[in-house]
Structure 1
Amino acid sequence: MEIRRVNDDFAVAGQIGPEAVADIAAAGFKSIVCNRPDTEDGAVPHDAVEEAAKAAGLEFRFLPVVAGAITDEDVQEMTAILDSLPTPVLAYCRTGNRCLNLFALVQEGK
């Protein structure tokens, strides 16, 4: 698992599974956001990761976003999610790029 730090409060990663959550918690993250729809080929169902996150004492949110088709509503929802979660936050999708693009749009709107 490669974690790419954007700043002190936000980082992105490619697809994770429940087995990665302990390492994420050990790295100091307080929250996880899944931006990958469960219906994408190769996706690990978010509920398995969410269960592991909650067991590790982490917050978890699911905001599935279609790659290449981020909407204004997606940006608004991600803004609200990030404003409500304890930091640092790790967001993941297939490669991390979608999360990075979504985060850039959130920052652009502030």
Structure 2
Amino acid sequence: MNYRAITGDYGVSGQISPEEVGALKEAGFTTVINNRPDAEVPPDLGSDRMRAAVEAAGLTYVENPFSHAAFSPDLVERQGAAIAAAEGPVFAYCASGNRSTILWAMSQVKAGAITPAEAVEAAAAQGYDLRGLMPQLEALTPG
């Protein structure tokens, strides 16, 4: 299974299938965050099916659907809370990994764990261009 390691503890990819969950466990992930709304996927990849597969593998499942049409600060809060509560590496997915990377960057900048520049650099190293979000990231910087 292919994924992009944004950090040593946070990886992202596009849509996964229930059959790929075992590979996530083998890779050491302990939490799986679904950032894809059910309206974007066929029923066999919906949140209920994914939750069942993730939990059957002994991993923690978090649903935090992010639609470009319905972004809210609550999404950042939920992503950050899931990352903070994780007992090991976190894997997040959406259609391409971009939305999962955006939520990671915003939540970690807001928590003071990284600077906006560090977030943009980490994302760019894995092929995600967040430079256009620099004003939003800077606005989230604590202090």
Query: Is TM (by shorter chain) over 0.5?
Result: yes
Cα offset for 1:69? 4.7
Larger RCO, structure (CA 8 Å, separation 6 or more): 1
* Superposition RMSD in Å: 1.5
Indicate the structure (1 or 2) with the bigger Cα radius of gyration.
Answer: 2
Q: The residue matched to 2:68 in structure 1 has which SS?
A: coil
Cα distance in structure 1, aligned partners of 2:105 and 2:72? 13
Cα distance in structure 2, aligned partners of 1:68 and 1:104? 19
Offset from partner CA, 1:18-75 (integer Å, 9 cap, x none): 0000111111111100000001155720111111111111111101111365321111
Runs (5+) with no aligned partner, structure 2: 112-143
Q: Which has the higher strand share?
A: 1
Count of paired positions:
110
- Identity score, percent: 35
Find the counterpart in structure 2 of residue 19 from structure 1. 19
Q: What stretches of structure 1 move > 4 A for 4+ residues in a row? A: none
TM-score by length of 2: 0.71
Runs (5+) with no aligned partner, structure 1: none
